[in-house]
Chain A
Amino acid sequence: MSLSRRWNLQEWRGSVREIVFIISVIGTATWAIRQKLNHLLLSTVFMVYLFLVFLAALKLSRLSAVTASIACTIVYYYYFIPPYASFEIHDLQYFFDLTLMLVIALTTSHMASGLKTQITLAQNRERRIRSLFELAKDLTGISEPEQLIHTCHRFVADNFQTRYVLLIPDVQGRFTTPASECHEVDLKFAEQILHREVYSDSDVFQNIAGDFVYLPLRGSSDNQGILVVDRTATKGSAEQESLLWTGMTLIGLALERLRYAARARQASLEVESERLRNALLASLSHDIRTPVAAMAGIADAMILSLPPGSHPVHGMLDSMRQQIAMMLSDVDKLLDMTRLHRDIVTLHKEWQVLEEVVGAALERCRNILQGHEVVVTMAEDIPLLEMDAMMMERVFCNLLENVARHTPAGTQVNIEANVEDQYVVVHFADDGPGFPSGQEEAIFSEFVHGQRMTGTVGVGLGLAIVQSVVKAHGGKIGAEHRHQRGASFKLFFPIGDPPDIILDQE
């Protein structure tokens, strides 16, 4: 209130100064005409006064213009119309002159003030556009959040002279701006605004809490942050609101861009470290494999060089051979997993007879399954399945190896295959101790071990490989802990479109 009163007083003083000025100009002009230019025609004198009124209306306030026109009329009649030095008016003509003078004053004044307003508006508009242009230019160049905050600060400070807080959410969509900066700001409310759906342009200025209005910074898909400004910042002016709103959209998009850039950087970092990890695994696998293979061979050669008959060293070498074989199989799994991760496994899919694939796996695992009984039951109507036989053999081997590792000798393994709907289902079950219930998902993770029943330790990749390979074949796998009845795995393979086979004429 005090501010507006002072402003009026100033205006008032300005008007008084203008009136004094215009009257003194009229006085001087009258004096000059009467003393020096008294031979002038009456009409010329009238024109001089009219010109003065016109000038006053053009350059000074409306009040001064009116004052000038009245003053001119008075002076004109007093000094130049007979009877001189009197206000006696004989004729309607003089009223008409006065009216004309007033009309010219008011019309000119009105036009001039309209022009002035237009200029002011144009200047303001230009300032807003320039400021938006500057903002857009600054935002294109930024690569760090700090730069964005700085740019945003300049934009608000230049255009709105108000208190404000820029809130940028963290990864979880929460605000962590230091409390000192925004003790009056309602962070809870800001979070609500942040997670609200898209607004129409008009209702964003309705998000008011306390002295502040909470404006969402919109990205292309969702809100990127909140700008909290004093509710008087725009003074309700539509142009200022629109400036603020456009600026915020620019800031929102810049924030979104920064966020995507950060995400892309993070992703490329992860890819790089994954690549390094895989390269390390691959070279480790190879470097371990070669000497270990040689060790196995040397153990064999030593067994051969022993004299025939049961020698005590024979058993030792034999178990050494077994341990080495186990180790090799683990290294192989590492290599498999690495290759699966790097997507360098191209599946060589051919139409396979499931029984043959299972049979090959059983043959390969014959040594480690010596203490176990395996029963295979295959339905007659199992169609050809399109699969990579090598990879699938490894799948069954890993499952069999799991049984060998985690169940005591004498455990029975049942492998059943039959057709269910559009799938061939291979049911793989043992009557061993099973795995802890609740672990049905976790056992497929990498480096997760089962109970170490046999005292041997695997790297825990077997089931992860099984899952990856089955998925790569468009199939799925489920694990089940059967209380007191061991572990059970169900593998589902989609039935494709097997080719026809022309059989022999019997």
Chain B
Amino acid sequence: MTAVAQNVVLIEDEAMIRRYVSMALSASGFKVWESGTAQQGLVETVSRRPDLIILDLGLPDRDGVDVIRELRNWCEIPILVLSVRTEEGQKVEALDAGADDYLTKPFGVPELQARIRAVLRRRPNQGSDFQNDDSTFEFGDIKVDRAHRRVFRAGEPIHLTPTEYQILTLLVANVGRVLTHRFILQKVWGPDYVDRPHYLRVFMAGLRRKIESNSSTPRHLMTETGIGYRLVRD
């Protein structure tokens, strides 16, 4: 990625998880600063100025979502949260509070690396390779031409409704990153619609039928059950 080793602050109370995450991160060339409590983690963050924070939501001393809110008061450092399977509500809360992405335990190292890459890439000041400013964006056999508001599939233009197009461009702008239902509803329909996720689901189903080769086994417009959607490029 970059020649200079990037700093990661890892805030996780379970020693075994901490050990293997830091093993995997070191293997990928990161410099890891571990801490077992939120308090210590915040201190590390202030002193190390990391490029990424990995934060477990189930910390003994403080509520993880609270920690995110505090961090977001003064910094824009990407935050990747770790969470257990049964806490969908907490994950959504964390994402809405400003976390960049999440991983559900247990996760594999490839998954972890992919998430970290995506999170680091999309930060504008990280020297990203993201084509945010380009007018075209391609994934699979789909090409989105934002300058002309057109979408092509294998070179053939396809017709999207205005709402479908808005959803797609929103996902494209955040490629690789999970977007909560609430976030998309607010951006596309406005604040009155944040409690009507079924709108999003119906439009998403329509979009999948047009974009995916098989709408019941999507490869790009991925569902994050209970949380939201994620556009996967490859």
A residues at B contact (CB < 8 Å): 289-294, 296-298, 300-301, 303-305, 321, 328, 332, 335, 339, 348, 350-353, 355-360, 362-363, 374, 376, 378, 384, 389-390, 393, 498-499, 501, 503-504, 506
Taking the closest CB of chain A, its distance from the CB of B18, in whole angstroms, is: 9
Taking the closest CB of chain A, its distance from the CB of B108, in whole angstroms, is: 5
- In the complex, the answer to whether B108 meets A297 with C-beta atoms within 8 Å is yes
Counting chain A CB atoms within 10 Å of each CB, which of B89, B197, B201, B225 scores highest?
Answer: B225
Taking the closest CB of chain B, its distance from the CB of A297, in whole angstroms, is: 4
Chain A residues within 8 Å of B214, by CB: 376
Taking the closest CB of chain B, its distance from the CB of A76, in whole angstroms, is: 114
Residues of B20-58 contacting chain A, CB below 8 A? 20-21, 23-24, 27-28
Q: Does B105 contact A (CB under 8 A)?
A: yes
Q: Once the chains are docked, how many angstroms separate the CA of A501 from the CA of B189?
A: 13
Closest to A292 in B: B106
Closest to A377 in B: B216
Dominant SS among interface residues on chain A: helix
Q: Does B205 contact A (CB under 8 A)?
A: yes
- In the complex, the answer to whether A378 meets B216 with C-beta atoms within 8 Å is yes
Chain A residues within 8 Å of B16, by CB: 290-291, 293-294
Q: Does B19 contact A (CB under 8 A)?
A: yes
- In the complex, the answer to whether B198 meets A296 with C-beta atoms within 8 Å is no
Across the A-B interface, give the 6 residue pairs with the lowest CB-CB distance, nearest first.
A293-B106, A300-B109, A294-B16, A297-B20, A504-B161, A351-B198
- In the complex, the answer to whether B216 meets A358 with C-beta atoms within 8 Å is yes
Chain A residues within 8 Å of B67, by CB: none
Q: Does B77 contact A (CB under 8 A)?
A: no
Q: Which of B105, B163, B199, B201 contacts A293 (CB 8 A)?
A: B105
Chain A residues within 8 Å of B110, by CB: 300
- In the complex, the answer to whether A332 meets B222 with C-beta atoms within 8 Å is no
Chain B residues within 8 Å of A506, by CB: 161
B residues at A contact (CB < 8 Å): 14, 16-17, 19-21, 23-24, 27-28, 85-86, 88-89, 105-110, 161-164, 196-199, 201-202, 204-205, 208, 214-218, 222-223, 225-226
Taking the closest CB of chain A, its distance from the CB of B218, in whole angstroms, is: 6
- In the complex, the answer to whether B217 meets A293 with C-beta atoms within 8 Å is no
Q: A294-B16, A332-B85, A356-B205 are in contact. Are A504 and B162 (CB under 8 A)?
A: yes
- In the complex, the answer to whether B24 meets A350 with C-beta atoms within 8 Å is no
Q: Once the chains are docked, how many angstroms separate the CA of A363 from the CA of B217?
A: 7
Chain B residues within 8 Å of A305, by CB: 27
- In the complex, the answer to whether B14 meets A290 with C-beta atoms within 8 Å is yes
Q: Once the chains are docked, how many angstroms separate the CA of A499 from the CA of B195?
A: 13
The number of inter-chain residue pairs (CB within 8 angstroms) is: 117
Q: Which of B23, B163, B222 contacts A301 (CB 8 A)?
A: B23
Chain B residues within 8 Å of A355, by CB: 205, 208, 215-216
Given A293-B16, A298-B20, 10 more contacts at CB 8 Å? A289-B106, A294-B17, A298-B19, A332-B85, A353-B205, A355-B216, A360-B223, A363-B222, A498-B198, A504-B161
Q: Which of B17, B106, B196, B204 contacts A356 (CB 8 A)?
A: B204
Q: A356-B201, A504-B162 are in contact. Are A301 and B20 (CB under 8 A)?
A: yes
Q: A290-B16, A352-B201 are in contact. Are A298 and B218 (CB under 8 A)?
A: no
Q: Which of B27, B107, B204, B226 contacts A348 (CB 8 A)?
A: B226
Q: A353-B202, A353-B204 are in contact. Are A297 and B17 (CB under 8 A)?
A: yes
- In the complex, the answer to whether B198 meets A499 with C-beta atoms within 8 Å is yes
Closest to B216 in A: A376
Q: Once the chains are docked, how many angstroms separate the CA of A289 from the CA of B14?
A: 12
- In the complex, the answer to whether B88 meets A390 with C-beta atoms within 8 Å is yes
Q: Once the chains are docked, how many angstroms separate the CA of A293 from the CA of B110?
A: 14
Chain B residues within 8 Å of A356, by CB: 201, 204-205, 208, 223
Q: Which of A290, A304, A350 contacts B198 (CB 8 A)?
A: A350
- In the complex, the answer to whether A362 meets B216 with C-beta atoms within 8 Å is yes
Q: Which of A293, A389, A393 contacts B17 (CB 8 A)?
A: A293
- In the complex, the answer to whether A301 meets B17 with C-beta atoms within 8 Å is no
Chain B residues within 8 Å of A303, by CB: 109
- In the complex, the answer to whether A301 meets B88 with C-beta atoms within 8 Å is no
Chain B residues within 8 Å of A293, by CB: 16-17, 105-106
Closest to B205 in A: A353
Q: A303-B109, A359-B218, A362-B216 are in contact. Are A297 and B202 (CB under 8 A)?
A: no
Taking the closest CB of chain B, its distance from the CB of A471, in whole angstroms, is: 20
Q: Once the chains are docked, how many angstroms separate the CA of A498 from the CA of B85?
A: 29
Q: Which of B162, B198, B205, B223 contacts A363 (CB 8 A)?
A: B223
